[in-house]
Amino acid sequence: MTKPKILIARAVFPEIIAKLAQHFEVETNQADVVWTAAELTAKLQGKVGAFVTSSDPLNAAVIAACPELKICASMAVGYNNFDVPAMTAAGILATNAPDVLTETTADFGFALLMATARRVSESEAYLRAGLWTKWSYDMFAGADIHGATLGIIGMGRIGQGIAKRGAHGFGMKVVYHNRSRLDAATETQCKARYVSKEELLRTADHIVLVVPYSKEAHHTIGAAELAQMKPSACLVNIARGGIVDDAALALALREKRIAAAGLDVYEGEPQVHPDLLTVSTVVLTPHIASASIPTRMAMANLAADNLIGYLLHKKAVTPLNVPVNIA
């Protein structure tokens, strides 16, 4: 019996390839070439399923050119690379990998916050450059985490994880802003208080962004919002590139209108706005918030389980849409 054909669009754990190869004829990309939309389209010809990441563009043009495709399973939680309405209309199921990365990403968000507030990267660069010759009272003096006010924009599972770490571990006062207010029980668990975006920007010592990307969320933090923040405040973005206006942020940092920033995501990544690279008070990491081995394996396994579940049993684990027009 001929196995259905699937594509794994980026390099992945060999164990995942072996798992999928039990059920499918698998084309891989262990060289980890980042394909253009045209190259991805060519690779998808004849495939009924695709294992993808957030860097793989599943836009309307790609979808229209791949009539045999039935499912695209992403190992990421974010899916702004998917044109979900076009996928639905074409009868293609979209799946992502929620929940399995929540705690690891919250860990990293807090790590990035601490590195930013305490000027870890800046001081390490100073030491490595051989510039440390003596102790001084104000050398790389940063901001306290304990007892400070933590503002979280986007209070989903990851935001709640960061709130709990701050409130319970560091005695922080937590305020949050979200599209909708959480229920009272969840607010109590997180020791968090709902406020307007304006109040959060004005009062928080540290602001962490955990907002899913959408057109409405584009530049949630821009020049106007940066102007409302305390000059001593730190901003951390572990959400998605485009949530922050990176050019406006670089300028605010250079002019010392806010104290520091920590970024794991960028507009147009993997390119980083060149102005950010010239500012010493920003901690920069290459989109690694979920990058622990156990978590990345769990993300990949969930994507594989979605492919197996849907193509063999018509039941995906974490569907994003209900496809129609399925042949």
Residue 243 sits at φ, ψ, to 5 deg, of -70, -35
Which residues pair with residue 255 across a beta bridge?
none
Which member of 269, 273, 296, 313 is catalytic? 269
Contact between 264 and 93 (Cβ < 8 Å): no
Q: Where are the beta strands (DSSP E) in 244-313?
A: 260-263, 282-284
Contact between 105 and 99 (Cβ < 8 Å): no
Half-sphere exposure of 165 (CA within 13 A, CB side): 22
Using CB atoms within 10 Å of the CB of residue 4, give its burial: 0 to 12 exposed, 13 to 18 middle, 19+ buried: middle
Cα 134 → chain centroid:
39
C-alpha to C-alpha distance for 287 and 242, rounded to whole angstroms: 13
Contacts of residue 280, defined as CB under 8 A and 6 or more positions apart, other chains included, come to 122, 125
Which member of 118, 165, 287, 296 is catalytic? 287
Cα 305 → chain centroid:
22
Which member of 118, 165, 240, 273 is catalytic? 240
Is 269 labeled as catalytic in the residue annotation?
yes
Largest CA distance in the chain: 74
Is 287 labeled as catalytic in the residue annotation?
yes
Kindly give the pairing relationship between strand 192-194 and strand 173-177: parallel
Is 240 labeled as catalytic in the residue annotation?
yes
Contact between 227 and 233 (Cβ < 8 Å): no
Which residues form the catalytic set? 240, 269, 287
